Amino acid sequence: MEHYNMNLTVKVWRQKNSSDKGKFESYPVKNISSEMSFLEMIDVLNEQLIVEGKEPIAFDHDCREGICGMCSMYINGKPHGPWAANTTCQLHMRAFKDGDTVVVEPWRASAFPVVKDLMVDRSAFDRIIQAGGYISVNTGNAVDGNSLPINKDHADSAFAAAMCIGCGACVAACKNSSAMLFLSAKVSHLALLPQGDPERKSRVLNMVAQMDKEGFGACTNTGACEATCPKEISISNIARLNQEYLRASLTAEK
Amino acid sequence: MLDAKIPSGTLDSKWTDFKGHCKLVNPANKRKLEVIVVGTGLAGASAAASLGELGYKVKAFCFQDSPRRAHSIAAQGGINAAKNYQNDGDSIFRLFYDTIKGGDYRAREANVHRLAEVSGNIIDQCVAQGVPFAREYGGLLSNRSFGGTQVQRTFYAAGQTGQQLLIGAYQALERQVALGNVKMYARHEMLEVVKIDGKASGIIARDLVSGKLERHFGHAVLLCTGGYGNVFYLSTNAMGSNVTAAWKAHRNGAAFANPCFTQIHPTCIPVSGDHQSKLTLMSESLRNDGRIWVPKQQNETRKAVDIPEEERDYYLERRYPAFGNLVPRDVASRAAKERCDAGYGVGSSKQAVYLDYADAIERYGKIEVSKEGRTDVSKEEIIALGKQVVKTKYGNLFDMYEKITGENPYEVPMRIYPAVHYTMGGLWVDYELQTTVPGLYALGEANFSDHGANRLGASALMQGLADGYFVIPYTLGNNLADAIYNKAVETTHPAFEEAEKNVSERIQNLMNIKGKQSVESFHKRLGKIIWDKCGMARNKEGLEQAIREVQALKKEFWSDVRIPGEINEMNPELDKANRVADFIELGELMCIDALSRNESCGGHFREEYQTPDGEALRDDTNYMYVAAWEFKADHQWELHKEALNYEVIKPTQRNYK
């Protein structure tokens, strides 16, 4: 792979806190290596800002290996940037060329208010999980792990849904800011496993109610969420969610 | 000072006896007892959830925006358990034995045996929570091999085992939050332990969004804050992973044990330049099928594919025929360093070795062909089929490699090099996981107790969950049974006042420096000192020099660091400055510890102490102890030794040949 260096203009959203209005600022960055990750480019810019006596850009990031789900920004209008099935931290600068202007913004959704610059508050996701995204089993109650064989296809599908990293890109990509892909991934994960069966109906009803309460929009099946998801969570999970919801609504005892 | 409180009796009866005799707290009283849990990784989330289920009033803290993001999430390969589902000779004793031997005979027998005993319960618990472990076609759980063992006891969920286990623990935690048993404080960082009459009674935490300091009372404080690998700046740890909570505890009376025992993981993506902010691990599970090699010729310039088989040196298979590519991490890392230092390294930096999947792809391809009962299949087709199999097993890891390096690992061998990954050292704890400060506990990677001088792969997840799900629910009750007479202390108590004042002054001092150099630049310099002189190989001269350099760096930091912004706002540079200041102090202690341990063991390799063929040379006569350091004053520590008595295992030189 050929390495090269580039000069860029980074146009980034600056917002002091949740009550500030916020605006775009542009900064030049020089000699960025194509081998750097996108966040390392922001590190370089921040170092430059600190030296100039300005405030560095605040952004969420932690593991920098695409699994913690902390990083969250639109890069040139796309959540997590131009690469498919990718997180911001795994985007590398070879995606850009010399002279490019890169526009960086925080997630835009009323359920995800901006905390500062590129950081948003995603605690709504935690509250959706609190509403039922678990199996009620206290520590110490479990029987032997192999006492309950699980069809491999179901186990694999449950795993594929459980890969969700809770980053919020699905919400950010959706014109309605819907959280259906996130929610459906959790409902599917647990509905596909026999352990999740006893609470299957109450789980889906309660989680959907919480999602609505948090102010996420409705799903209109545009598929933008699936196309953006860094873990390629399938939109078929939303179909399963709808099925689960209908079934629960028609047959739930209370 | 050090009483490990190991129960009497035979090794395999200690934990059963302890559980049978420990004190209990009745449910009505549990509701009156408040427990603070700092950190929400595997240890913290499992502890907070389990204690909430028992009825304690729990407050849990994490610096991330959600407890689901703690760095346990990044663990890839798997979790060990002595289930013996494969009928290949595994047992509790064998897991215990492998762990002690893997740790180069520097861990406590009783703790490790307990770990092996509860390992099976962890798998059961996780399956019940809905953790989607890999399964076979018959619907039963699948296992794979990991380094330092000859049985298949590792349970896994593709290359995302840590994620799945953490999500399981996180969901259990959120269930307790919904029930009101746990109150969650995200984007909060613990900055001080509050002690009343010598007992841990709460913490001072900073709300990272508002910058405000908060006081929280607890009848007990549990630190589940992970390891300190980021002292090296470059490591596989998350950017936020830090030692601050543990270090505050240490400065406040908790002894710090074996700080120099750090794990360098053999298979990471090599450094590509000065801009690098972190290193990425390629799971140890890749050593199940991949073969590690370097060219037989020094300064080789040909591409890997152009080097014929007979000119390749599969050095792990050559040096360690019995374990081959699956030797423990410390051994594999040193062997890679040895080859690179001798001039056989590959890639543009020459600081890398090959991890090659060509053989595995062909082998799997042939198996697929024979499954279909076909003959007369072209080599291309075999390779294509083999790639499919490798993709299902390791796809996410291969994708990650390609994103980072821009090279396709299905076509060319991966380049890998060792990197800092885990820290075996940590806060000293007794059998009940209590530090030398009463009421203050350390769980998971934050404590020192189970891995000796080297941790085996897939054992960190096991230990974090063992501590949180199955150990602390018993041992905490044993101590809190006497606390039922103690009412919650008001946070207006002078001890809280003073602790908050100290924290506030320190933050003010940091902000007042108004120097010229960024926090990051200091962290980089610290990392380089520690990596060069207290990394994969250490010697007396280098360590002495490192101590002087770190002391000088500390002075410079406190007179020239520049922290922009204000105190009472979201200020990530200030958060980082707080952490780096603590890393600098820890760096000094690591070098002091490494210097005082005149032997080589596990990840601690002193160049002066090696066998003629370059293996670690232990000195059991003089160093078979845990080095627990008591903080006295800045730059001053007192060493306390906890002798390690091996009642069951007879320590020998580790042999993986």
* Domains within chain B, CATH numbers bracketed: 266-420 (3.90.700.10), 502-624 (1.20.58.100)
* Interface contact flag, A155 B280, Cβ < 8 Å: no
Over the stretch B362-406, which tens digit does the pLDDT of each residue have? Answer: 999 999 999 989 888 999 999 999 999 999 888 889 999 999 999
pLDDT score of B510: 98
Q: Does A4 contact B at CB distance below 8 Å?
A: no
pTM above 0.95, yes or no: yes
Residues 6+ apart with CB under 8 A from B258: B106, B424, B425, B426, B448, B453, B593, B626, B627
Query: What is the four-CA torsion angle of B643, B647, B648, B650, rounded to 10 degrees?
Result: 60
Q: Tell me how crowded residue B506 is: count the other CB atoms within 10 A of its CB.
A: 14
List chain A residues with CB under 8 Å of B397: none
| pLDDT greater than 80 at residue A236 | yes
Task: Provide the token pair at A31.
Answer: 């000699």
Q: Output the DSSP codes for B271-283.
A: P-STT-----B--
pLDDT score of B147: 82
* Averaged pLDDT of chain A: 97
List chain A residues with CB under 8 Å of B570: 17, 58, 115-116, 119
Over the stretch A148-206, which tens digit does the pLDDT of each residue have? Answer: 999 999 999 999 999 999 999 999 999 999 999 999 999 999 999 999 999 999 999 99
Query: Does residue A145 share a domain with residue A67?
Result: no
Over the stretch B67-108, which tens digit does the pLDDT of each residue have? Answer: 999 999 999 989 999 999 999 999 999 999 999 999 999 999
Q: Domain span at residue A127? A: 123-251
Query: Does residue A153 share a domain with residue A168?
Result: yes
pLDDT score of B348: 86
Among B141, B518, B572, the residue with its CB nearest the CB of A47 is B518
List chain B residues with CB under 8 Å of A66: 400, 403
Which of A63, A98, A116 finishes a domain? A116
The mean per-residue pLDDT over the stretch B26-37 comes to 96
pLDDT score of B283: 87
The model's confidence at residue A1, banded by pLDDT at 50, 70 and 90, is low
**DSSP helix, strand, coil percent of chain A (3-state; round to 5):** 40, 15, 45
Bridge partners (DSSP) of residue B626 are B642
Query: Does residue A107 share a domain with residue A23?
Result: yes
List chain B residues with CB under 8 Å of A135: 128-130, 171
Residue B577 burial (10 A CB sphere; 0-12, 13-18, 19+): buried
Query: Does residue A131 share a domain with residue A15?
Result: no
Query: Does residue A150 share a domain with residue A92?
Result: no
Rounded CA-CA distance B237/B416 in Å is: 17
Query: Does residue A150 share a domain with residue A175?
Result: yes
Residue A224 burial (10 A CB sphere; 0-12, 13-18, 19+): buried
pLDDT score of B365: 96
Over the stretch B461-478, which tens digit does the pLDDT of each residue have? Answer: 999 999 999 999 999 999
- Proportion of chain B above pLDDT 70, given as a percent: 100
Query: Does residue A111 share a domain with residue A10?
Result: yes
Bridge partners (DSSP) of residue B146 are none
Over the stretch B499-514, which tens digit does the pLDDT of each residue have? Answer: 999 999 999 999 999 9
Q: Which amino acid is at A29?
A: V
Query: Does residue A176 share a domain with residue A112?
Result: no
**Sheet of B182-185, strand order:** B182-185, B57-61, B34-38, B220-223, B440-442
Over the stretch B329-341, which tens digit does the pLDDT of each residue have? Answer: 999 999 999 999 9
Which of A92, A116, A140 finishes a domain? A116
The model's confidence at residue B149, banded by pLDDT at 50, 70 and 90, is confident
The mean per-residue pLDDT over the stretch A13-37 comes to 97
Query: Does residue A186 share a domain with residue A224?
Result: yes
The domain total for chain A is 2
The model's confidence at residue B654, banded by pLDDT at 50, 70 and 90, is confident
* Averaged pLDDT of chain B: 96
The model's confidence at residue B163, banded by pLDDT at 50, 70 and 90, is very high
Task: Provide the token pair at B634.
Answer: 């800045």
The model's confidence at residue A254, banded by pLDDT at 50, 70 and 90, is low
Which of A70, A100, A116 finishes a domain? A116
| pLDDT greater than 80 at residue A252 | no
List chain B residues with CB under 8 Å of A55: 564-565
Interchain CB contacts (distance < 8 Å): A and B: 219
Rounded CA-CA distance B619/A247 in Å is: 67
The mean per-residue pLDDT over the stretch B152-158 comes to 94
* Interface contact flag, A123 B565, Cβ < 8 Å: no
* Interface contact flag, A163 B160, Cβ < 8 Å: yes
* Interface contact flag, A122 B66, Cβ < 8 Å: yes
The mean per-residue pLDDT over the stretch B134-147 comes to 92
Task: Provide the token pair at A34.
Answer: 């194509």
Q: Is the dihedral of CA B407, B409, B415, B417 positive or negative?
A: positive
Whether the CB-CB separation of B147 and B138 falls below 8 Å is answered with no
* Interface contact flag, B570 A140, Cβ < 8 Å: no
Query: Does residue A194 share a domain with residue A177?
Result: yes
Whether the CB-CB separation of B266 and B416 falls below 8 Å is answered with yes
Q: Report A:56-95 residues touching B (Cβ under 8 A).
A: 56, 58, 60-70, 83, 85-86, 90, 92, 94
CATH code for the domain in which residue A30 is found: 3.10.20.30
**Positions of E strands within A34-150:** 74-75, 78-79, 101-105, 114-116, 119-120
The mean per-residue pLDDT over the stretch A80-90 comes to 97
Query: Does residue A132 share a domain with residue A89?
Result: no
CATH code for the domain in which residue A230 is found: 1.10.1060.10
Q: Where are the alpha helices (DSSP H) in B377-518?
A: 379-405, 460-465, 472-480, 494-513
Q: Does B564 contact A at CB distance below 8 Å?
A: yes
**Sheet of A5-14, strand order:** A23-33, A5-14, A101-105, A74-75, A78-79
pLDDT score of A2: 76
Rounded CA-CA distance B512/B544 in Å is: 32
User: Which has the higher per-residue pLDDT, A1 or B572?
Assistant: B572
Over the stretch B230-247, which tens digit does the pLDDT of each residue have? Answer: 999 999 999 999 999 999
Q: Which amino acid is at A43?
A: D
Query: Does residue A144 share a domain with residue A109?
Result: no
